[in-house]
Amino acid sequence: MRHGEFGYGHASISPIPWRNAWAFTCVCLLVCGINLAQAGAQEILIVSSSGAKPYEEAHMALLEALVRQGHKARSVRLDQLSKVDLEKLRQEQPQAVVALGSGTARTLDGVLPKQVPLVFCMVADDASLDLDRSRPVAGVEMLVPLKKQLDLISQTLPRARKVGMLYRSGDTQSAHVVEQLKAELPAGWSLEAVAVDQHSSFAKALDALLKTRPDIVWTSPDAEIFNSTTIRALLLDALRCKVPVFGFSPAFVRSGALLGVGIDPSTQGVQAAALVHALAGADVKSVPRAAQEPRFSVAVNLVVAEKLELEMPREIVNAASEVIGKP
């Protein structure tokens, strides 16, 4: 299942280079006189998948946190490294390496010496990485635990019993998400999953889903299913059918979902910096190897709630990081 590397921006955010951030980094590296062939033994290497804005937000927060912790760090972009550059990494002995993005984590796992600690962030989930666990490795996931998402739905819609979702039956990971969601459903709940690839169009798959009358449509950050066009179609049709939508990002909620969750890339960077600090210490065995859950925010849309004639629980509104509309 090809999830977006950053599962919060598909509704209105596109992966464009954040030039100011990279310019700041380049200035720092020039001042320090660091380049790829001059790695120090006590240096933290940060490798980002690209210059997309979410990666850069995580990168800058990570870099700033490492500097505050007293670490020496440098940054490179995976999409700007040649095969020769990657081979040079085999010869380096940085104190630790941080990978921003799933592809970067997998690439570095096959390049770095086994004794070099590897930390990852801005990845969909740890299980999909299949990293070599013989090395010191730790990280933070982007996906908010399904149980916590369902708990939020249950608190918001106490009468909800049927969850609807769209998935891709021809994709193993997408089908696996269906099974995971089923396993986490509260007692007495059911899941209505409609495969988009078994219909001639997204519109027909969506129509088939809404005809089952789910109490809420749950969405996942699958870039093969959701883009600006399909999200707009889902929100308009669901609203017309008086079916609330649970969005996978605050941007999704701003676009018209009733509520949703999301991660802040800067927070991912800060979480990764804490893991680097621990792994770069003397006792790496004491660092938990299981991926950390992401710190996430909740967004609610009171304008949509009014159109759906739903009363949003006061505790949900008060706890939300972002509220669209007036309480």
How much of the chain exceeds pLDDT 90, in percent?
61
Residue predicted with more confidence, 5 or 320? 320
pLDDT band at 282; cut points 50, 70, 90: low
pLDDT band at 284; cut points 50, 70, 90: low
Residue predicted with more confidence, 143 or 208? 208
pLDDT band at 25; cut points 50, 70, 90: very low
How many CB atoms sit inside 10 A of residue 121's CB?
Answer: 33
What pLDDT shows up at residue 287? Answer: 58
Least confident of 72-81, 284-293, 304-313: 284-293
Closest Cα to residue 202, out of 174, 178, 237, 249?
Answer: 237
What pLDDT shows up at residue 190? Answer: 98
Over residues 212-236, mean pLDDT: 95
Residue type, 261: V
Residue 115 pLDDT > 50, yes or no? yes
Over residues 189-198, mean pLDDT: 98
Helix 53-68 to helix 19-32 angle (10° resolution) is 40
What pLDDT shows up at residue 157? Answer: 98
Residue predicted with more confidence, 31 or 125? 125
What pLDDT shows up at residue 37? Answer: 38
CA 186 – CA 257 distance, rounded (Å): 22
Kindly report the average pLDDT of the chain as a whole number: 85
Cross-strand pairs, 294: none
Q: Are 6 and 265 in contact (CB under 8 A)?
A: yes
Domains of the chain by range and CATH?
19-142+265-286 (3.40.50.2300), 146-262+296-324 (3.40.50.2300)
What pLDDT shows up at residue 32? Answer: 36
pTM of the model: 0.76
Residue type, 216: I
